[in-house]
């Protein structure tokens, strides 16, 4: 049997001829595996595990990996929760805490990686914790799972971005109202004050058309420009 010329299939190509001893060496070095298609001189291509080479397949020393359905997914769903809750916290507090998200995301990915390895599965490389959606996609692919938690994270990310935009505009409106009052008092010599400002349209990045509601019942059109941390308000001729 050792005189037979062996071939194996790799990436759509036929590799060979090789001796039985060489094929055994390829198997030991993991260049080929039990499912590799081989041809031993006669018949059709068959899986290596269905030939005499099957006796050289290394058997696992421990139990097989847990089924994907039995793997603990709590940490990846926690990543989704962090993204959503974090967006709400930033919206309600008006404070950016991206660094806290980063620390939590890295910690959850590290714990999840350990759980995957404990379950006998490969895990995405640790550095993908810096790009959570990539980590989640690769994890689902390695486990042959449906990518529900990936899509859940993307949805949470979109919601958090929308909340951030709304929160930024709300902060600008709050900052603009006392400026409107100051302009009315100092430039127009009137006693009315601003009760609220509402942004109507963002004409370009950082430049808004808005209107202010005054305590005398009138609405006036204003423009707001945000330059860094500075808020500039103008009241055009009405």
Dump pLDDT digits (tens) for 80-134: 999 999 888 887 776 778 888 889 999 999 999 999 999 999 899 889 999 999 9
SS3 call for 233: strand
pLDDT exceeds 60 at position 28: yes
d(CA 125, CA 139) in angstroms, rounded, equals 10
d(CA 107, CA 193) in angstroms, rounded, equals 50
CB atoms within 10 A of CB 16: 14
SS3 call for 196: strand
Torsion angles phi and psi, residue 152, rounded to 5: -65, -40
Which residues on adjacent β-strands are paired with residue 231?
Answer: 226
d(CA 220, CA 235) in angstroms, rounded, equals 8
What DSSP string runs through 1-41?
Answer: -TTSPEEEEETTEEEEEE-HHHHHHHHHTTSS-TT-EEE-S
Going 170 to 172 to 173 to 175, the CA torsion angle's sign is positive
pLDDT of the residue at 38: 96
d(CA 206, CA 226) in angstroms, rounded, equals 5
d(CA 212, CA 45) in angstroms, rounded, equals 79
d(CA 132, CA 117) in angstroms, rounded, equals 18
Model's pTM, two decimal places? 0.60
Question: Which residue blocks in 119-199 are alpha helix, DSSP H?
Answer: 132-143, 148-186
Give Cα separations from 138 to 101, 122, 143, 208 (angstroms): 20, 10, 9, 41
pLDDT digits (tens, 9 = 90+) for 34-90: 999 999 988 999 999 999 999 888 776 678 888 988 999 999 999 999 999 988 888
Share of the chain above pLDDT 70, in %: 97
- Which is nearest to 213 in space by CA: 237, 192, 196? 196
């Amino acid at each position: 049997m050792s005189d037979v010329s062996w071939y194996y299939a790799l990436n759509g190509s036929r590799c060979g001829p090789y001796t039985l001893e060489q094929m055994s060496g390829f198997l030991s070095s993991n260049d080929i595996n039990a499912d590799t298609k081989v041809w031993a001189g006669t018949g059709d291509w068959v899986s290596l595990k269905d030939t005499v080479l099957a006796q050289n397949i290394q058997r696992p020393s421990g139990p097989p990996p847990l089924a994907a359905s039995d793997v603990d997914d709590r940490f990846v769903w926690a990543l989704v929760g962090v993204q959503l809750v974090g967006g709400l916290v930033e919206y309600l507090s008006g404070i950016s805490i991206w660094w806290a998200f980063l620390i939590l995301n890295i910690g959850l990915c590290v714990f999840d990686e350990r759980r995957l390895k404990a379950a006998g599965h490969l895990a995405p490389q640790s550095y993908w914790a810096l790009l959570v959606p990539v980590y989640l996609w690769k994890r689902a692919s390695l486990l042959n799972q449906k990518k529900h938690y990936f899509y859940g994270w993307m949805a949470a990310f979109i919601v958090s971005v929308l909340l951030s935009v709304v929160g930024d505009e709300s902060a600008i409106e709050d900052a603009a109202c006392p400026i409107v009052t100051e302009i009315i008092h100092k430039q127009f010599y009137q006693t009315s004050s601003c009760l609220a400002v509402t942004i109507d349209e963002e004409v370009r990045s950082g430049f808004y058309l808005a209107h202010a509601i005054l305590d005398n019942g009138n609405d006036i059109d204003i423009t707001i420009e945000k330059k860094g941390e500075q808020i500039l308000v103008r009241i055009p001729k009405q």
